[in-house]
Structure 1
Amino acid sequence: MARNLVERVEAPPSSNDTERQHSKITAAADVDWEAPRLLEADATKKASDIRWRDLPNKYQLFILALCRLSEPLSNVCLLPYIFYLVRSVLPASQDDNSTDNSAARVSKYSGVLVAAFPLTQCVISLPWGRLSDTYGRRFSIIGGLFVSVIANVGFGLSRSFGALLFWRILAGLSNGNVSIMRTVTAEVVRERKYQTKAFLLLPLVFNSGMVLSLALGGCLAEPVVNLPALFGPSGLFNSNNKPDGVEWALKYPYALPALLNAFLLGTSLCLAVLGLKETLPGKEKHSDWGLQAGGIVKRLAMCLRNRGSAYHNYTMMQDSEGSAFLNDGPPGLEKTEPSVAPTEPAKVPFHGIWTRRVVSALVSFGLLPLHNSAFMHIFPVYLSSPPADNTEATLLVFSGGLGLRSATIGIWLATFGIGGILLQLFIYPRLQKSIGTRGVFRIALFLFPVIYIAAPYLSLLAGDGDVRWVFLGIIVCAQIMARTMAIPSTVILLTEAAPARTVLGTIHGAGNMLASLARAVGPVVGGYVFALGAEKGVIGLVWWLYLVVVALCALAWSYLTEGRS
């Protein structure tokens, strides 16, 4: 009996014992992460009473929101004018004997240009996530913004397809840290009751950035044509009185949107350097020269504000590193409550991250952009394509686009994008309260196939002005509404699937990698099928054969994985 006892003590632990021990450690370390899942209904009820102004760490969320503008400004801005941009840099082809062939050729090249950005995001996302889990979130976000500013300037001044492709690749590499911004949101707002609003913030900013980017791209491209009062022959900026308009605007007709993007992102970069706080567990007290400079700037601002005022009883609290700029935020915002001294978090092994729940959420996370990104590329090209004579059209066989200019496309997409923002602000939280995150997600998944089936029939209305605009508005509004409901839902579901907070960067990095791969594949495959349909005289081919099929697969997956989640 004694010998058996000694053998039990000295025997090495089995793999099952090790796994059980690891599970206990992880559960103990992350009890605050798992507990809210058991009270989801109650937490959702409490979350419905939370207002935007109740969110904690508002100043950090504000800086993070400005940083989140990097992706839509860098990626979406070219969509309203991509048809004309690609056509202007492509050499003439002897095969382009018809307008349909010309649209098909432009669609193929523009698909490659659009896909370059998310493809490089896919390659870099997981390494960014792992690095941020090791070295911190702040450096990766700031570094990405810096490179993104350079990439936008280079893209705007490019005059060949190869140069455009290079700067798109660089912009994609610099925006591989989008997943880290989602991770920072989860680390800044830890209480479940605030997370619904907090996780809506980045998609809300993304939609706002898309609206801004689409409007800027459509209106500022070809400024001599679209803004003649400023850049035309008699324009305000034509100081040299050139007969055709401002010389540099003629030489670089698509530079202005990209240069303005670079300026806006440069502003976000400055704020991030001065005030973005490190949130990696265990390194929350990190400070560097940027944060110290931010503290100095804030103290100067407070001195100027309080000079001559009757309010002299305020004493600014700061830590020994001079990071008051971080902890207090700007005047008028609530201060961050002092946190409990952090303990060393338990480490989850890499193979332990990929639970069945995480994998299921990742697949849903990737299926959405597989069709949504293809739509975002195909639709502007489709609207820009010249109309066709469809007098002998059948239910499935017809061709041609609407022949709209870039400014019109940008304004239309931006206008209905505002509707998506309002939906996110006022409708999404109420829907989530009533039917839950998965229920809202499923409504969006039902909408997508219906939209894609109906969209190509706009070609049959190209000559009917009023009806065409009404139908176009319905299509755009419905797609934006579905996208607005689906994107925050996938982010919330993926975050809730994480086994521990310490691996959020890795999980969101993997999600961003998968989504980026989908955003690369979608435009390439969609552009190819669109070109094939244009050549065969069946413009609806890409909608029915590709977009509808992928959207139905996403819907089916949401039901197949319901029991697993």
Structure 2
Amino acid sequence: MHARTPRLPVQQLFILSICRIAEPIAVTSYLPYLPEMVESVGVPEAEIAKWAGLTTAVASFCQAVMAVSWGTASDRYGRKPIILLGLIFTMFLSLAFGLSTSLPMLIACRAMIGLMNGNVGIIRTMVAEMIQDKELQPRAFSIMPMVWTIGSIFGPAFGGSLAHPAEKYPEVFGNSRFLKDYPFALPNMVSAAFFIIGITTGYLFLHETLAAKKGHRDAGLVLGQILTRPCARQREKSRFIMPDDERTPLLIESQHTTKALQGIPEVKQPRWREVFTSQSALILLTYALMSVHTMAFDSLFPVFLHNPVQRLQDNPDMQLPFKFVGGCAMDSQQIGMFYTLTGIIGMVMQFYVFPTFAKRFGVLNCVKAPTVVSPILYLLTPYIPLVPESMRNATIFSLVLAKLTCAIFIFPCITILLTNSASSLSILGTLNGVATSVSAIGRAAGPAVLGPIFSLGVRAGYIIIPWWFLSFLSVVAAIPVLWIVESDSFQIQSLDEPEPILEQSLVEETHPIKYHDSRTK
């Protein structure tokens, strides 16, 4: 029997992407206007960076508290229902954030968003359960980060252009008392529309990937099949002509497969020693440390760009090359434009450049290279205001693009390394929940620590302090990478071997590592 070429389950990945897209839009839309929002609730100018950092950090900290619980819940109740719950909670809490009129309300809304959503790890788990062929992993694991990048294109654009709509577009929104009283509500209302699309699409068309739940009746899929019955009939006709391929068990389960899967017992909560291998622990540490400096930069860079320009000529408070505090005096719309432009380029790099580099140079090398570049970028960041004004925008664009490129390579590669370090497929939900927690701790610690340091540096007259401290953190984050080893744990059965009988196929599909190990011993 001829070997079959492995293919991506494009349809289900596309549906999962639609479910995912609303979250990056909501998360990144507030970055351009957050300094203005914090200022609008009465925070003094010198304290804006600190409270903006803490507002960002509290969501990540709360996500760290609940991520493992959400991941474990997905191991028990299924990936799909937990993902839909996270989307519903985030939609309503984002709307509440846009209506916030006090600092405690801002912080409370961000905290609840973190507590009520563990989708990052669960979605990674779904992708890992869909894609068990190592050749497909770089492209498969780049899809969700690419979706995030697409969201980061629209999010800052919405946030920057739709904040204060009554002032920016008086001919359209000038008579709206609601938008005058709540100038940051409109970007979150636009995000809510994407949430509704994602929730509806996921409910109707997303297939469960948890083996123990695959054979269960799904009311959403039944309704989706009823609504798309004319198209389904056309596909059925085509299926008599087209040969079956490896996507079929995922997208359209046969009656034999469904019955066999119904006999699979419920997944038990894994023991911690099954979750943590030595490599998994090392990769999780790297993930946390990388998240510290990445999120610290993302939360503080808009504040830095919003900071007032410092006079360069005859200024006794400035002693170059170290003592200066100037920013770029940009508003939310200008900041959003930079993130949108770099996001468009990043989207292309995510799906085309990254998989090519990962296959050619290896996943681990694609982590190592950005760890060398990141400290240099952070060292150069505070000197942007000293660049001649005619070249400043190009410099900001280049720096943001370089920083985005580092993130595009680092985080999908860490996800692949972590997935391949898992002791079995059955613990992936919990492992990715732990990964979400440690990443969230890092993303909370970065802004929480760097925000006060930024304010301290501004008061002392040394804007280089927070950025050089960030450079030091990025060097520390690179140290564990030296001991990481690429693993082939999730390689499935060789395509050159004869196909096993149905029962063996089902076991291998559900527990590929266990089955693979039993054949090689």
Common topology (TM > 0.5): yes
Pairing partner for 1:404 from 315, 318, 330: 330
Tell me which residue corresponds to 2:288.
Answer: 366
Contact kept? 1:365, 1:494, Cα under 8 Å:
no
- After superposition, residues 128-527 of structure 1 pair within 5 angstroms as 128-226=70-168, 228=169, 232=170, 235-238=171-174, 242=175, 246-299=176-229, 313=237, 327-328=251-252, 341-342=260-261, 344=264, 349-391=271-313, 392-461=318-387, 464-527=388-451
Instruction: After TM superposition, give the deviation of residue 312 of structure 1 in Å.
Output: 9.9
After superposition, what is the alpha-carbon deviation per residue over 1:280-321, rounded to whole angstroms, capped at 9, x for unaligned? 122211223222211211115657xx7xxxx995689xxxxx
Q: Per the alignment, do residues 336 and 544 of structure 1 end up closer, same or farther by CA in structure 2, a change over 3 Å counting?
A: farther
- How far apart, CA to CA, are the structure 2 residues paired with 1:174 and 1:551? 30
Aligned partner letter, 1:154: A
Tell me which residue corresponds to 1:7.
Answer: none
Q: Per the alignment, do residues 298 and 563 of structure 1 end up closer, same or farther by CA in structure 2, a change over 3 Å counting?
A: closer
- How far apart, CA to CA, are the structure 1 residues paired with 2:297 and 2:451? 10
Give the superposed CA RMSD: 2.8
Q: Per the alignment, do residues 451 and 336 of structure 1 end up closer, same or farther by CA in structure 2, a change over 3 Å counting?
A: farther
Aligned partner letter, 1:474: S
Q: Per the alignment, do residues 562 and 398 of structure 1 end up closer, same or farther by CA in structure 2, a change over 3 Å counting?
A: farther
SS in 1 for 2:33: helix
Aligned partner letter, 1:477: L
Pairing partner for 2:48 from 101, 106, 122: 106
- How far apart, CA to CA, are the structure 2 residues paired with 1:208 and 1:357? 31
- How far apart, CA to CA, are the structure 2 residues paired with 1:563 and 1:498? 12
- How far apart, CA to CA, are the structure 2 residues paired with 1:336 and 1:551? 52
Aligned partner letter, 2:457: G
Contact kept? 1:63, 1:272, Cα under 8 Å:
yes
Instruction: After TM superposition, give the deviation of residue 489 of structure 1 in Å.
Output: 0.7
In the TM superposition, structure 1's runs of 4+ consecutive aligned residues that sit over 4 Å from their partners are 300-303, 311-316, 335-340, 342-348, 562-565
Mark the runs of 5 or more structure 2 residues left unpaired by the alignment.
Answer: 241-247, 489-521
- How far apart, CA to CA, are the structure 1 residues paired with 2:435 and 2:282? 11
- How far apart, CA to CA, are the structure 1 residues paired with 2:486 and 2:173? 63
* Structure with the greater alpha carbon radius of gyration: 1
Aligned partner letter, 1:118: S
Contact kept? 2:62, 2:115, Cα under 8 Å:
yes
Contact kept? 2:342, 2:401, Cα under 8 Å:
yes
Contact kept? 1:71, 1:175, Cα under 8 Å:
no
Tell me which residue corresponds to 1:125.
Answer: 67
Aligned partner letter, 1:161: L
Instruction: After TM superposition, give the deviation of residue 431 of structure 1 in Å.
Output: 1.1
Instruction: After TM superposition, give the deviation of residue 154 of structure 1 in Å.
Output: 1.2
Q: Per the alignment, do residues 195 and 341 of structure 1 end up closer, same or farther by CA in structure 2, a change over 3 Å counting?
A: farther
More deviation, 170-179/132-141 = 170-179
- How far apart, CA to CA, are the structure 1 residues paired with 2:259 and 2:285? 36
After superposition, what is the alpha-carbon deviation per residue over 1:121-140, rounded to whole angstroms, capped at 9, x for unaligned? 10110011111112211111
After superposition, what is the alpha-carbon deviation per residue over 1:498-552, rounded to whole angstroms, capped at 9, x for unaligned? 010000001110000000011111111110110000000001110102x111110
Instruction: After TM superposition, give the deviation of residue 165 of structure 1 in Å.
Output: 1.7
Pairing partner for 1:67 from 6, 13, 19: 19
Instruction: After TM superposition, give the deviation of residue 454 of structure 1 in Å.
Output: 0.3
Pairing partner for 1:81 from 13, 25, 33: 33
Aligned partner letter, 1:137: R
- How far apart, CA to CA, are the structure 1 residues paired with 2:454 and 2:273? 40
Q: Per the alignment, do residues 76 and 400 of structure 1 end up closer, same or farther by CA in structure 2, a change over 3 Å counting?
A: same
SS in 2 for 1:467: helix
Contact kept? 1:367, 1:554, Cα under 8 Å:
yes
Mark the runs of 5 or more structure 1 residues left unpaired by the alignment.
Answer: 1-45, 97-101, 317-323, 330-334
Contact kept? 1:328, 1:336, Cα under 8 Å:
no
| Amino-acid identity (%) | 31
Q: TM-score, normalised by structure 2?
A: 0.85
Instruction: After TM superposition, give the deviation of residue 119 of structure 1 in Å.
Output: 1.1
Aligned partner letter, 1:435: F
- How far apart, CA to CA, are the structure 2 residues paired with 1:178 and 1:364? 17
- How far apart, CA to CA, are the structure 2 residues paired with 1:470 and 1:482? 18
SS in 2 for 1:402: coil
Contact kept? 1:530, 1:542, Cα under 8 Å:
yes
SS in 1 for 2:29: coil
1:538 aligns with 2:462: yes
Q: Per the alignment, do residues 287 and 471 of structure 1 end up closer, same or farther by CA in structure 2, a change over 3 Å counting?
A: same
SS in 1 for 2:326: coil
Tell me which residue corresponds to 2:8.
Answer: 55
- How far apart, CA to CA, are the structure 2 residues paired with 1:192 and 1:341? 26
- How far apart, CA to CA, are the structure 2 residues paired with 1:533 and 1:438? 36
